């Protein structure tokens, strides 16, 4: 077998690993009330926002880091992290692409994300986050015409305080969990989207996150509100430069769907996973939750997780409205010494609610991967349905794949199904492809892509292409 060539490929350097040399306005490492006050002031926030942050901070102080996940990592020193880093000159932010620091644009070019081209060609508005402050937002006008608000969360706090106040923390409360509390105290940026009643967002909204300055935790806060009968598709994608020290990322994403609203949230996550000994790499502790608040509302999560040293992430749906619908499609790929504990929670509260979970896990190298999910059907959620499928593919004999699905079913008029399989790529499958002149590498890529097809077809077009490419890059060389 072509193991040697493949091993070489497996060892190949993280393509997106480079550091852009931009001066940052960074606070010294450490966390206390003054740091939070500094962040709040730097962002020009009103008093209520600062109070809200401090409340979260006090709750966080009383909490302990969760230890139930199937993950193994040294304790994090939260005092060694710097909680604020922004590109310089935040006062005179660029108003259009031409004003954007060319070095920054170059960074996007290297990442294969030509911002302006992509924006123009694909009709995607991009709220590009470089480190912590939104640098530029395109297609503002077109969105404004439709009445859609798409801006950074800091801007939203200043410009639309009543909207933010109404919804912020209503899905993920400040004290929801350890990382959410931390995020609530120190979040620096993120996106805010509001789609007014009856509006279908004229284009797909997208944010590219990028972690830059060394030692700065990235604490994004995203809030998407879809009013009655409104629709939006939101794309989130990330890459990060190569680093030696672990970087903490604790984001919170809140989605609110009112009556008949539909939110589709897609993620491609490709942060630096650490070197082959697991050194460096991002700690990705994310709280994502959608609230199907209105009747017949629908929230769909699609994620492709290939990066990060450690992933702790459970995009969830609270199905509160009657006939509401939650979906979760996930492909998680781990290689090297990556660890991922990911899955979803579907909480059926309203009547006739339905949820679909499709999770595909691929573990290679010395990585470990767990699917952890909860399907809870409350006694009054009669006529509810859930279908869960989680499949794992093991590549190599040093990795691990685990499944921990929780199901709590409290009434007799609901139907819940769960199935899971674990297997490897069959020798006969490989032989079949090879006998038809397909190289082993291509065959593996083909089989893995087929394995993930159910999820990829849920992704928006551009993302699907990127995801497939990413998958083959991540897995190349791991089959022997």
Partner 1 sequence: MSLPETLIKRLHEAPSGEPEWLSEKRRAGASHFETVGFPTRRDEAWKYTDMSRLSSADFAQADSAELDHARFDALRLDIDACRLVFVDGLFSEALSDLHRLPEGVEVSPLSRVMAGDQQAISEQLGRLTAIDFSAFAALNTALTGEGAVINIGKGKAVETPIYLLFISRNNTTPVMSHPRILVRCEAESEATLIEHYAGEQGAANLTNVVTEIEMAPASRLSHYKLQEASQSEYHVASIQVDQQRDTNFTSHNLNLGGAVVRNDLISDLNDENATVDLLGLFFGQDRQHIDNHTKVNHNAPRTYSNENYKGILDGRARGVFNGRVYIKRDAQQVLGYQNNANLLLSDRAEIDTKPELEIYADDVQCSHGTTTGQLDENAIFALRARGIDEQMARGLLTLAFANEVMERIRHGELTDRVERAVAGKLPDRFNLESLVEDTSL
418 binds partner 1 (CB under 8 A): yes
User: In whole angstroms, what is the distance from residue 412 CA to residue 226 CA?
Assistant: 32
The contact mask relative to partner 1 for 290-329 (x = CB under 8 A, - = no) is: ----------------------------------------
Residue 137: beta bridge partners? 127
Select 56 or 390, whichever has its Cβ closest to partner 1: 390
135 within 8 A of 129, measured Cβ to Cβ: yes
Stretch that binds partner 1, among 21-29, 188-196, 266-274, 410-418 (CB under 8 A): 410-418
**What's the closest the beta carbon of residue 343 comes to partner 1, in angstroms?**
12
Beta carbons of 319 and 326 less than 8 angstroms apart: yes
Q: How far is CA 439 from CA 44, 70, 425, in A?
A: 57, 36, 15
User: Which residue's CB is nearer to partner 1, number 22 or number 63?
Assistant: 63
Count of residues interacting with partner 1 (CB under 8 A): 35
Instruction: From residue 28, give the alpha-carbon distance in Å to each of 82, 83, 179, 189, 471.
Output: 6, 8, 21, 18, 37
440 three-class SS: helix
Least distance from partner 1 to the Cβ atom of residue 388, Å: 9
212, 302, 414, 445: which one contacts partner 1 (CB under 8 A)?
414
Q: How far is the CB of 298 from partner 1 (least distance, A)?
A: 23
Q: Are 299 and 257 in contact (CB under 8 A)?
A: yes
- How many angstroms from the chain centroid is the CA of residue 347? 20
Using CB under 8 A as the binding rule, the residues of this chain from 27 to 86 that contact partner 1 are 68
Q: Which is nearer to partner 1, 56 or 394 (CB)?
A: 394
By beta-carbon proximity to partner 1, the closer residue of 403 and 474 is 403
The residue within the footprint of partner 1, chosen from 423, 432, 439, 465 (CB under 8 A), is 423
Query: What residues form DSSP beta bridges with 282?
Result: 247
CA-CA-CA-CA torsion for 271, 276, 278, 282, nearest 10 degrees? Answer: -10
Which lies closer to partner 1 via its Cβ, residue 362 or residue 433? 362
Cα separation, 399 vs 363, in Å, equals 6
Near partner 1 by CB under 8 A: residue from 93, 116, 140, 424: 424
CB closer to partner 1, 214 vs 420:
420
Q: Which range touches partner 1 (CB under 8 A), out of 219-227, 346-354, 416-424, 454-462?
A: 416-424
Cα separation, 154 vs 190, in Å, equals: 8
Rounded to the nearest 5°, which phi and psi values hold at 83? Answer: -95, 0
What one-character-per-residue DSSP string does 83-137 give? Answer: --EEES--TT--SSGGGS-HHHHHHHHHTT--HHHHHHHH--EEEEEETTEEEEE
| Distance set, CA 37 to CA 46, 220, 221 (Å) | 11, 17, 17
> How far is Cα 63 from Cα 67, in angstroms, rounded to an integer?
12
Least Å distance, CB 320 to partner 1, is 19
User: Which one of residues 18, 413, 439, 453 is an interface residue with partner 1 (CB under 8 A)?
Assistant: 413
Least distance from C-beta 312 to partner 1, angstroms?
17
Question: In the range 350-409, which residues lie near partner 1 by CB under 8 A?
Answer: 379, 382, 392, 394-409
410 binds partner 1 (CB under 8 A): yes
How many angstroms separate the CA atoms of 236 and 392, rounded? Answer: 24
Taking the complex as a whole, the smallest distance from the CB of residue 182 to partner 1 amounts, in Å, to 23
Nearest CB to partner 1, comparing residues 117 and 408: 408
Inter-residue contact 236 to 435 (CB < 8 Å): no
Of 32, 159, 417, 442, the one binding partner 1 (CB under 8 A) is 417
Shortest distance, position 90 Cβ to partner 1, whole Å: 46
Least separation in angstroms between residue 237's CB and partner 1 is 30
Judged by CB under 8 A, which of 76, 420, 430, 438 binds partner 1?
420
Q: Which is nearer to partner 1, 297 or 338 (CB)?
A: 338
Of 412, 435, 437, 461, which lies in the binding site for partner 1, with binding defined by CB under 8 A?
412
How far CA 212 is from CA of 141, 238, 311, 425, in Å, comes to 29, 11, 19, 37
Nearer to partner 1, 173 or 400 (CB): 400
Minimum CB distance to partner 1, residue 419 (Å): 4
What is the nearest approach in angstroms of partner 1 to the Cβ of residue 423?
6
CB atoms within 10 A of CB 68: 8
Binding flag, residue 416, partner 1 (CB under 8 A): yes
With contact defined as beta carbons under 8 Å apart, do 414 and 383 qualify?
A: yes
Residue with tokens 């909204």: 205
Which stretches of the chain bind partner 1, using CB under 8 A? 68, 379, 382, 392, 394-424
């Amino acid at each position: 077998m072509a193991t040697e060539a493949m091993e070489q490929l497996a060892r190949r350097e993280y393509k997106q690993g480079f550091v852009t040399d931009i001066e940052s306005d960074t606070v010294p490492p450490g966390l206390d009330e003054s740091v939070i006050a500094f962040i709040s002031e730097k962002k020009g926030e009103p008093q209520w926002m600062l109070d809200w942050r401090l409340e979260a901070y006090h709750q966080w102080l009383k909490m302990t880091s969760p230890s139930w996940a199937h993950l193994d990592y040294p304790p994090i020193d939260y005092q060694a992290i710097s909680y604020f880093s922004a590109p310089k000159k935040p006062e005179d932010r660029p108003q259009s692409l031409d004003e954007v620091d060319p070095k920054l644009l170059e960074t996007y070019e290297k990442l294969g994300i030509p911002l302006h081209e992509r924006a123009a060609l694909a009709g995607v508005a991009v709220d590009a986050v470089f480190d912590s402050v939104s640098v530029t937002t395109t297609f503002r006008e077109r969105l404004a015409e439709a009445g859609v608000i798409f801006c950074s969360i800091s801007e939203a706090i200043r410009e639309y305080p009543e909207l933010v106040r109404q919804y912020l923390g209503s899905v993920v409360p400040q004290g929801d969990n350890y990382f959410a509390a931390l995020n609530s105290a120190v979040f620096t940026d993120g996106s805010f989207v509001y789609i007014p009643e009856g509006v279908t967002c004229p284009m797909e909204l997208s944010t590219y996150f990028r972690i830059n300055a060394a030692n700065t935790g990235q604490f994004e806060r995203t809030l998407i509100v879809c009013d009655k009968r409104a629709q939006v598709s939101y794309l989130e994608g990330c890459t990060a430069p190569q680093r030696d020290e672990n970087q903490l990322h604790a984001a919170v994403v809140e989605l609110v769907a009112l009556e008949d609203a539909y939110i589709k949230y897609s993620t491609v996550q490709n942060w630096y996973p650490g070197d082959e000994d697991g050194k460096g790499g991002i700690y990705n502790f994310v709280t994502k939750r959608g609230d199907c608040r209105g009747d017949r509302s629908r929230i769909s999560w699609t994620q492709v997780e290939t990066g990060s040293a450690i992933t702790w992430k459970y995009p969830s749906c609270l199905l509160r409205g009657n006939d509401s619908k939650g979906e979760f499609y996930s492909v998680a790929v781990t290689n090297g010494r990556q660890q991922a504990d990911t899955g979803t929670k579907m909480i059926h509260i309203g009547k006739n609610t339905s949820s679909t979970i499709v999770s595909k896990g691929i573990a290679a190298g010395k990585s470990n991967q767990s699917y952890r999910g909860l399907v809870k059907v409350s006694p009054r959620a009669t006529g509810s349905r859930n279908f869960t499928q989680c499949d794992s593919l093991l590549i190599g004999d040093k990795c691990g794949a685990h499944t921990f699905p929780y199901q709590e079913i409290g009434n007799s008029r609901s139907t819940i199904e769960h199935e899971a399989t674990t297997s490897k790529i069959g020798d006969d499958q490989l032989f079949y492809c090879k006998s038809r002149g397909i190289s082993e590498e291509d065959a593996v890529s083909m089989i893995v892509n087929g394995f993930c097809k159910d999820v990829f077809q849920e992704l928006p077009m551009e993302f699907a292409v990127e995801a497939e490419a990413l998958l083959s890059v991540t897995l190349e060389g791991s089959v022997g």
